Structures are given as structure tokens and as C-alpha cells.
């Protein structure tokens, strides 16, 4: 039986034997080409090759971004029977799709056959009349034309008026939060069940041995809105004005699709009580060239901007600043301050980035960052500085929290809101301060000093990364702390001080290292958020990061909190051996196994070579515990599949969830792994005496 694996526009065909037979030896010339193919094939839909069965979508199953289907057999969808583009259908929404947040429904094609349809802006429990806008091999996409009675029992009125206009910032404002949380929790459980079934087939894991902790949700109702500490608004020349789909008295449903307006007879679909449709979708709207727009990009429309006056995800002062900037820049759009056009690549104003924070005194701090093209002349720059001065007078001099107004200048043609150079237009500093107090959310009883009251302070610059939801970030750090294994050890956060300029941590003698405290390594450490939260409970902490500016911020944050037991290093693990880097900057790890290795990678996950490097630790020095934090459970489960096959001595213990993104399809997931070997009398795990194993994992 032949299998196809679809990833975007790439279609790869291989037989089961060549894809799944292990081990696979490739000559270097072919490895670069075939390794990604074999890697994806092993990870995605692994059970299919063993059972030889066609994959079907069960009623409760979520669609992922990559799906394997058989090219022959009874389960393959029939293109002649699949719904055509433009068809008007009536659907019952069952659940939500992972990643996209679209409603999952089934279109009955025959008595024994159905077809999955993903519906934009639909929630579970709804019955909708929808129009098919895209058709793919194993599913279709549709937009809502009208919602049928009775309404979903999970429906609620959205707070933000822009939600009904097709804004893509939120997906679920019309879905009650308890249902949002349960849907996201069930999606993660589905992915982990699939992972554990694959591993159980090979005797590497058991679903019964993994503890799924209840999801940690946001505080209701205060934590559901105004939680984002950063919003990136776009200046543009093309305004997207939403047009609602309408149904007139004659029974004709008018579907507005940009320039395309079509009608279909309502009697062509099954009958049902209807409420007049007022729904919009990203496909429904009017492109108007007005010369000035400030707001958010319409989903899947990189060049079109939906004007935003109030965003429910940011605090009130940020919305006031948004309206203030719009009022002062719009009159100059035709002269000195033209917005940037992403199609023609002309213009000056690009982005308005508003960052907020709560400092150690619980005072609000605000940073305004105006991203622009290089100024054409001194008059253009002077006009921008006049806007910044007006901002400072209104929100800075009046002690309303504005700390600085910055200008990032970029000549890049992309829409990324990061400049190649930076100027301060107003204010006395270039950063804002955020204080996190994770210990107040730790359920364990900890004998600690006033650290739980003072917290950890972070300086945030214009282009540095920081968790977008500080309140939930505290809960996330608490979950990491509770599952780190460090709270059972003595707090030694201030011992072995090292010079701030030193590239290595202070090293005690080999004899003294026998009684050392916990050693922690934080991969993808960023600005040091996790590392600095763990530092009070560790002897030494090493943070590794590829981005040099993030490492600079992490070192600044370590000095700000007087954490002398931390070192942050710029490291490219694609070019350097992981364990050589660890031994060079954390010499105690040569005699004492790393107690905790933390990973918090980008959404794409961990590269397979880095996973193999983690598995390649010398047997006697394998990390005792791994904590993998991810905002993308799909890439996390894929990586754990590879890691647990390359390092079967680890056992997946727990999976915890923290919802940092209410009203969106995203959720933070924490996976906890520990060594499954029997520990010796000193608490260290016994290493294998196998000559073959020792040779394989030596460096």
C-alpha cells in the first residue's frame, strides 16, 4: 500500500519499508535531501504503517496541519462526492480544530460517508448555514452565512465590536471561557494520546503512566481581557471595511466576497429557522484605498488593515494612546507622515507597538515604539518628533505611566516591526520593568525568604521577547517550579558568586563538588525568564540562546536581581556540541549530572539534531529531569516522539497546561520527563556498563 504525506504544497511518496525501517543509513550526499522526508514520515501518523489501515477522522478527533491519507482503499475521499467551492450547506459544529480555532463539522455525503468541513468563526453546538470557500483533499473550509436557531448553549456576547468585523486578534470571544479551556485541553490530550499509542506500540511508554494535570485557566472574569502586554498595530493605505452577509425577504442570501458578490437560492439547502445573518469573515469585506489606516491586519490579507479604535486585549491607557496617535497622524498622511504601503513599498509610518508592564511597586509603565522607514528629510523627522512630544505631554508629564517614546528605523520591505536602528524621541529611558511573583502560585509549602513578595524584575526593551500575559506567566513559572524537582532541595541561589564579566561560573574543587547543589541548564533561555525563576533554588544555572540581544537582556536581568549564580551564553547548537558547551561553561557538570534541563523553544520546536544531542549525554551524566515548555503542542509531541525513541531511558511523567491566551486557539504545555533508571545510594542514577552504549554516547 502506498502512502502520501502532504505538507503544504509538497507531496512526497515513499513505500512503507523505506520510510519506517530502522535504522536508516544514508550517504552524506543523500542524507541532506532524504532525512527530512524520513523524519516527517516517522513522526506523523506512525501507527498507520503498522496496522495497514486507512486513517479516518472520528467524531471527537481534531485536524492537524499534516494529515496522512491512503491513495487507495475504502477510506480515501472521493473528489466527485466532495463539496464544490461555492456550495451552500447546513452544518452542525461539533468541536474546534487545533491551531486554527475553526469549527469542525461533518457534511454527510451518503449514508456511510461524510466529509469534514472547517467553519470560520463557528463554535461548538451551533447549527449554521455556510458557504464552501476552499476544498482540499481531506477537508473543506467554509464561512458562516447565517446562524440557525437554537443558538449554541456555549455562546456568549463578545465584548469587542471589532470581533464582529472580522478582526483576527481573537477567535473565541463569542464562546464561554470554560468551553474554550475544555476544548483546548481536549485537543492537547488527543495529541498526547496519539503519541502514547505510538510509543506504547514500541514498548516505550504507557498512557496509564502519564499524569495529565488540570489546565490552569485565567482568572474569571478579570483575566480574560486586557491581559496582553504588547500589541503591534499596523499603518497602511488600504482599509478593510467588513460587509455582513445578508438574507433578504425573498429568501436570497447575498454573499459578499471582496469584489465578488454572488447569490444563491435559500431553498437549495435543508430548511431551518433562521436569524438574519450579520456575520463577517476574513473573506467578506471591501478594499478601500483611503490613504490612511491604523489597526490590525485582516487574517490572510497582509496588505489590508482593519481600523481598530479599542482592543479588548490591552489596557485602557494603551487604547487611549492608539486613538491619540491616529488623531495626530491622520491629518499628515498626505504630506509629512504617509503610511507605508506593503505592496508598492513606499511611505514612512509602518507600525505602532505599545508595550505595558507592572513594576515592583505595581505601577503601570508604558512604552510606545513607532516603527518607520528612514526619514526622507529633516521635515519628516521633525513631524514625527512633534507627535512624540505631544504623546509625552499627554501621557508622560501627567504621570499616567508613559516611560518613553522610541523610534525604530528599518529599510526592510517586510512587515516585521523590528528596526535596524533605534532613537529615543521622548522620555528618560529605553526600557520598562516587569515584576513576576511566581511563588505566590506555587502550591507546595516552601520555606523561603521574602522573594515571594519582591518577585523577579525584568527590563524589557523595544525588541526583546517577553511572555505576553504576565499574570499567566507567573502561573506558568509556578508550574515549571513545582515540576522541576528543585523545591525539594536546599535553596542555594547565592553561593559560588562569579564576576559578572566572567564567561564561566565559579568552580569549586572536585571534592567539594560531591556535595554540590542543583545544576540547571536552560536551552532557548531568551531573556532569562525561566532561568531567573529557577536560580534561587539552584547552585548554578546556565542559559543558552542563539540571539545575542536576548542574551544581553538576560545578563542585564541577572544583574538587576543580583543573581550571581547564573551565566547566559550566545550559542549556536547547530555548529557546536551541546555537551562540550555545557562542560565549558558549567564545569561542575563534568562530575555531577545536570539536575534539570529546561527547553522552551519557538513554535517550530526543537531541531532533530538538538534532540539527538540531548540524548547523546554521557551515560553517567544524563540530566535527571527534562522539562519541555511549548506554546505549540503539535511540535512538542513530535519532538517527544523523537526524543523518547533516541533516549528510551527517559519516562514521560506529567503533562500540564497553562492558558496564556484566552479567546485564541493557543495554549502553553509543560511536559515533564525523568530518568527511569534505578537510583543508587547517593541519589544518582546508575549508568549502563555496556561498552557499546558508552561508545555510542561518548563525545
- Catalytic choice (48, 435, 525, 631): 631
Cell of 431: 526600557
Task: Measure the CA–CA gap between 366 and 339, rounded to whole angstroms.
Answer: 23
Write the CB contacts of 203 (distance below 8 Å, at least 6 apart in sequence). none
Task: Measure the CA–CA gap between 511 and 584, rounded to whole angstroms.
Answer: 19
Q: Are strands 68-70 and 88-96 parallel, antiparallel or unpaired?
A: unpaired
Of all helices (H) and strands (E), which one includes residue 615? helix 608-615
Nearest-5° angle of CA 6, CA 10, CA 13? 65
Cell of 417: 516591526
Is 526 within 8 Å of 460 (Cβ atoms)? no
**How far does Cα 627 stand from its chain's mean position?**
17
Per the listing, cell 523523537 goes with 642
Could you list the beta-strand ranges (E) of 223-283. Answer: 230-241, 246-247, 252-257, 260-265
Rounded to a whole number, what is the largest CA-CA distance in the chain? 89
DSSP state of 394: I
Task: Measure the CA–CA gap between 660 and 666, rounded to whole angstroms.
Answer: 8
SS3 assignment, position 278:
coil
| Cβ atoms within 10 Å, residue 35 | 14
In 3D space, the residue among 160, 180, 299 whose CA is nearest the CA of residue 225 turns out to be 160
685, β-bridge pairs: 679
Is 53 within 8 Å of 38 (Cβ atoms)? no
**3-state SS record for 278-307:** CCCCCCCCEEEEEEEEEEEEECCEEEEEEE
Q: Are strands 625-630 and 596-599 parallel, antiparallel or unpaired?
A: parallel
Task: Measure the CA–CA gap between 599 and 613, rounded to whole angstroms.
Answer: 13
In 3D space, the residue among 37, 36, 38, 12 whose CA is nearest the CA of residue 24 turns out to be 38
Write the CB contacts of 371 (distance below 8 Å, at least 6 apart in sequence). 350, 351, 352, 353, 407, 408, 409, 410, 417, 418, 419
DSSP state of 480: H
Task: Please give the backbone phi and psi of residue 542, each rounded to the nearest 5 degrees, phi first.
Answer: -115, 125
Question: Residue 167 catalytic?
Answer: no
Task: Measure the CA–CA gap between 160 and 174, rounded to whole angstroms.
Answer: 10
Cell of 336: 509629512
**3-state SS record for 149-208:** CCCCCCECCCCCHHHHHCCCCCCCCCECHHHHHHHHHHHHHHHHHHHHHHHHHCCCCCHH
Task: Measure the CA–CA gap between 670 and 685, rounded to whole angstroms.
Answer: 24
Per the listing, cell 460587509 goes with 243
Nearest-5° angle of CA 441, CA 443, CA 445? 115
Of all helices (H) and strands (E), which one includes residue 453? helix 451-454
Active-site residue numbers?
631
Amino acid at each position: 500500500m502506498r502512502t502520501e504525506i502532504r505538507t503544504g504544497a509538497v507531496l512526497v511518496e515513499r513505500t512503507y519499508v523505506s520510510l519506517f525501517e530502522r535504522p536508516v543509513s544514508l550517504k552524506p550526499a543523500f542524507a541532506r535531501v532524504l532525512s527530512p522526508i524520513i523524519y516527517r514520515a516517522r513522526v506523523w501518523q506512525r501507527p498507520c504503517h503498522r496496522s495497514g489501515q486507512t486513517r479516518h477522522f472520528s467524531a471527537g478527533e481534531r485536524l492537524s496541519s499534516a494529515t496522512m491519507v491512503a491513495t487507495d482503499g475504502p477510506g480515501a475521499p472521493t473528489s466527485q462526492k466532495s463539496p464544490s467551492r461555492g456550495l451552500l450547506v447546513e452544518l452542525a459544529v461539533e468541536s474546534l480544530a487545533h491551531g486554527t480555532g475553526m469549527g469542525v463539522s461533518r457534511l454527510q455525503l451518503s449514508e456511510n460517508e461524510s466529509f469534514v468541513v472547517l467553519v470560520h468563526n463557528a463554535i461548538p453546538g451551533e447549527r449554521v448555514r455556510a458557504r464552501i470557500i476552499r476544498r482540499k483533499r481531506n477537508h473543506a473550509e467554509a464561512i458562516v452565512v447565517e446562524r440557525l436557531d437554537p443558538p449554541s448553549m456555549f455562546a456568549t456576547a463578545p465584548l469587542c465590536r471589532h470581533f464582529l468585523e472580522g478582526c483576527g486578534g481573537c477567535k473565541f470571544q463569542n464562546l464561554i471561557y470554560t468551553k474554550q479551556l475544555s476544548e483546548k485541553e481536549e485537543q492537547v490530550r488527543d495529541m498526547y494520546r496519539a503519541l502514547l499509542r505510538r510509543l506504547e506500540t514500541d514498548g516505550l511508554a504507557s498512557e496509564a503512566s502519564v499524569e495529565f494535570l488540570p489546565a490552569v485557566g485565567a482568572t474569571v472574569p478579570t483575566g480574560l481581557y486586557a491581559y496582553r502586554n504588547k500589541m503591534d498595530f499596523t499603518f497602511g493605505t488600504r482599509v478593510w471595511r467588513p460587509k455582513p452577509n445578508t438574507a433578504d425577504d425573498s429568501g436570497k442570501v447575498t454573499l459578499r466576497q471582496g469584489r465578488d458578490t454572488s447569490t444563491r437560492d435559500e431553498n437549495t439547502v435543508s430548511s431551518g429557522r433562521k436569524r438574519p445573518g450579520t456575520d463577517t469573515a476574513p473573506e467578506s469585506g471591501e478594499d478601500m484605498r483611503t490613504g490612511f489606516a491604523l489597526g490590525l491586519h485582516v487574517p490572510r490579507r497582509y496588505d489590508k488593515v482593519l481600523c481598530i479604535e479599542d482592543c479588548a486585549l490591552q489596557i485602557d491607557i494603551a487604547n487611549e494612546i492608539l486613538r491619540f496617535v491616529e488623531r495626530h497622524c491622520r491629518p499628515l498622511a498626505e504630506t509629512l507622515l504617509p503610511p507605508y504601503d506593503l505592496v508598492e513599498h513606499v511611505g514612512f509610518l509602518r507600525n505602532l507597538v505599545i508595550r505595558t508592564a507592572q513594576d515592583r511597586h505595581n505601577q503601570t509603565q508604558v512604552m510606545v515604539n513607532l516603527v518607520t522607514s528612514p526619514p526622507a528629510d529633516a521635515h519628516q523627522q521633525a513631524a514625527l518628533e512633534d507627535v512624540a512630544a505631544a504623546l509625552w505631554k499627554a501621557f508622560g508629564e501627567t504621570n499616567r505611566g508613559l516611560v518613553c517614546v522610541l523610534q525604530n528605523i528599518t529599510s526592510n520591505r517586510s512587515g516585521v516591526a523590528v528596526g535596524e536602528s533605534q532613537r529615543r524621541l521622548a522620555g528618560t529611558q529605553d526600557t520598562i520593568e516587569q515584576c513576576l511573583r511566581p511563588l505566590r502560585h506555587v502550591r507546595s509549602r516552601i520555606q523561603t525568604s521574602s522573594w515571594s513578595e519582591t518577585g523577579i524584575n525584568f527590563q524589557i526593551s523595544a525588541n526583546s521577547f517577553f511572555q505576553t500575559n504576565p499574570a499567566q506567566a507567573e502561573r506558568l513559572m509556578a508550574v515549571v517550579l513545582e515540576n522541576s524537582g528543585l523545591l525539594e532541595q536546599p535553596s542555594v541561589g547565592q553561593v559560588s558568586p562569579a564576576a559578572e564579566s566572567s564567561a564561566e561560573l565559579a568552580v569549586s574543587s572536585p571534592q567539594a563538588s560531591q556535595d554540590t547543589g542543583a545544576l540547571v541548564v536552560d536551552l532557548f533561555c531568551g531573556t532569562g525568564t525561566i532561568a531567573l525563576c529557577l536560580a534561587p533554588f539552584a547552585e548554578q544555572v546556565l542559559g543558552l540562546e542563539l540571539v545575542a540581544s536576548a542574551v544581553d537582556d538576560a545578563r542585564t536581568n541577572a544583574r538587576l536581581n543580583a543573581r550571581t549564580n547564573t551565566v547566559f551564553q550566545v550559542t549556536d547548537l547547530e555548529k557546536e556540541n551541546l555537551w562540550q558547551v555545557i562542560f565549558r561553561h558549567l564545569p561542575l557538570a563534568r562530575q555531577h549530572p545536570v539536575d534539570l534541563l529546561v527547553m522552551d523553544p519557538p513554535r517550530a520546536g526543537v531541531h532533530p539534531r538538538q534532540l539527538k544531542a540531548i540524548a547523546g549525554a554521557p551515560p553517567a551524566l544524563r540530566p535527571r529531569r527534562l522539562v519541555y515548555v511549548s506554546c505549540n503542542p503539535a511540535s512538542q509531541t513530535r519532538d517527544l516522539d523523537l526524543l523518547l525513541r533516541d533516549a528510551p531511558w527517559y519516562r514521560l511523567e506529567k503533562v500540564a497546561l497553562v492558558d496564556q491566551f484566552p479567546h485564541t486557539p493557543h495554549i502553553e504545555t509543560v511536559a515533564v520527563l525523568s530518568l527511569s533508571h534505578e537510583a543508587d545510594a547517593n541519589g544518582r542514577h546508575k549508568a549502563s556498563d555496556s561498552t557499546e552504549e558508552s561508545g555510542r554516547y561518548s563525545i
